[in-house]
Amino acid sequence: MKTLIIIITHANTASAFIEAVKNMNIETDNKNLLAYDIQNTDEPKAACEKILGDINNKDTSKNTDHSVLFITDLIGSTPYNIAKQSCEAYKKTNTHHQSALITGLNLPMLLKILTYQHLPAPELAQKVCAAICDCIFYEA
């Protein structure tokens, strides 16, 4: 099992993260990675419905141990609200599947997520959140 990764961010940020990973020659499983660039003109309800539709198109209902990790950039923002609503709606309609939501997306975080994508979403989220502080460095 690989966790399905859903990136939901402002403007063209999600696409830029995917492009950065590709430019680093890091192999990704595109079947298990979806990116959504939320524009300020996007309707949140429609965006949420599209995301849930795309997840369902991944044929997850036939996979009993499927897991989805929603990632967004800024807590409290429109992309965050869309990610949160999508995650909550996914949990309600797929009670036998696992899901989680992480905020504060940055490139080191995404690399960790892709490295541990074989873990279920809740375990993956905990592992990434615990490790991400090691990716922050301050030099005076």
Residue 106: the pLDDT is: 95
The pLDDT of residue 133: 87
Q: What is the pLDDT of residue 137?
A: 85
What is the distance between the alpha carbons of residues 72 and 55, in angstroms, rounded to a whole number?
Answer: 16
Band (pLDDT 50/70/90 cuts) for residue 62 is: low
Encoded amino acid at 135, one letter: C
Residue showing tokens 């020659």: 25
Q: Give CA–CA dist 83/7, Å, rounded.
A: 8
DSSP 22: H
Report the chain's mean pLDDT, rounded to a whole number.
Answer: 92
Q: Which helix (H) or strand (E) holds 72?
A: strand 67-72
Q: How far is the C-alpha of 66 from the C-alpha of 98, rounded, in Å? A: 7
Which residues share a beta bridge with 7?
35, 71
In the chain, the percentage of residues whose pLDDT exceeds 70 is 95
The per-residue pLDDT for 70 is 98
Euclidean distance between the first and final Cα of the chain, in Å? 43
Write the DSSP symbol of residue 30.
G
Confidence of residue 65 (pLDDT cuts 50, 70, 90): low
Sign for the CA dihedral angle at 37, 69, 113, 54 comes to negative
Domains of the chain from N-terminus onward: 4-135 (3.40.50.510)
Q: Is the pLDDT of residue 15 over 90?
A: yes
Worst-scoring range by mean pLDDT, 30-34, 61-65, 130-134?
61-65
Q: What is the pTM of this model?
A: 0.92
Which of the four pLDDT bands, split at 50, 70 and 90, describes residue 63? Answer: low
